[in-house]
Amino acid sequence: MPEKTAKTAAKATASKTAASKVAAKTAPKAAAPAPKAAAVKPAAKPVAAAPRVEEPKKVVTQRQGFKASEFVVYPAHGVGQILAIEEQEIAGAKLELFVISFMKDKMTLRVPTAKVANVGMRKLSDPALVKKALETLKGRARVKRTMWSRRAQEYEAKINSGDIVAIAEVVRDLYRSESQPEQSYSERQLYEAALDRLSREIAVVQHSTETEAIKEIESQLAKSPRRGAAKAGAEGEGDGDDLEGDSDDATVADEAA
C-alpha cells in the first residue's frame, strides 16, 4: 500500500510538471513596451518679410562709343562737339541725351543716345577717308544733263548725307574756275554749303584752321581738268546750265506752292 501511494504521488507530480510546461508554451507572449512618444517641438514663429524696396530703373545706355568732348558729324548740321551727356525725365522715363554744340552756327542740339544710328550721327572721318575726299576733288566734274531742280535735290541729298566723299563730289561738280562762267545764285548756295561742311571736317581731322582747309581744297580743285567757257557752252554746260538753273528755280517755287 505504501508503494502504491508513492507511485501515485509521483505520477501526480509528473502530470503537474507536464501541465505547467504546456501552459507556458501556450501562454501569449507579453506585449512589447509601447514606444515613447516623440517630443513635439513648438511651431516656429513666422518671420516677417522685409519690405521690398523698388530699385530705380537703370538707364539703358546706347552711346555707340561716343563720349563727351568728342567731335562728331551730324548729317543735317555738319561737325559739332559733344559738350555733355545728360539725363532728362520725360513722362516718368529717364532719357539719356547727347548735348551737341555747333559753334559756327551758334546752336546747341540734344539728341537721344538711342537715336544716333537713326539720325546718321557718326564719328569724324579717319585720315585715309579725308585723303580719298581730297583725291575726289581732282577728278573731272560730272554734271548730269537733267533739269536743275532735280540736280539741286541730288546735291542737297549728298550734302545732308554726312558722307565726306559725297560732299566732296558736290564741291567738285559745282566749282567754277575764273575761266568758267559764273554760278547762278542757287548753285552758289549749294557750293558754299558743301564747301563749308567739307572744310570744317578736314580742319578738325587735320588739326588746322578752316581757312587752311579751304586753301587745301581749292589747291586740289585747281588740279582738276576743266572745260573752257566756249567749249562748255558748245556742249550744253556752263552758260546753258546757268540759264537752266535760273529758270528751274521758278519751277521749284511753283512745285512748292
* Measured distance CA(48)–CA(61) in Å, rounded: 38
* Measured distance CA(86)–CA(110) in Å, rounded: 9
pLDDT for the residue 48: 59
Lowest-pLDDT range, 52-56, 161-165, 202-206? Answer: 52-56
pLDDT for the residue 11: 53
* Measured distance CA(144)–CA(227) in Å, rounded: 15
pLDDT digits (tens, 9 = 90+) for 142-158: 888 889 999 999 999 99
76 in Cβ contact with 160 (< 8 Å) = yes
Contacts within 8 Å (CB) and 24+ apart, 167-170: 167/133, 167/194, 167/197, 167/198, 168/133, 168/134, 168/136, 168/137, 168/198, 169/136, 169/142, 170/194
DSSP string, 86-143: EEEEETTEEEEEEEEEETTTTEEEEEEGGGHHHHT-EEPPPHHHHHHHHHHHTSPP--
pLDDT for the residue 38: 53
Cell of 11: 505520477
Identify residue 168 by its one-letter amino acid code: A
* Measured distance CA(55)–CA(180) in Å, rounded: 69
Lowest-pLDDT range, 28-32, 70-74, 205-209? Answer: 28-32
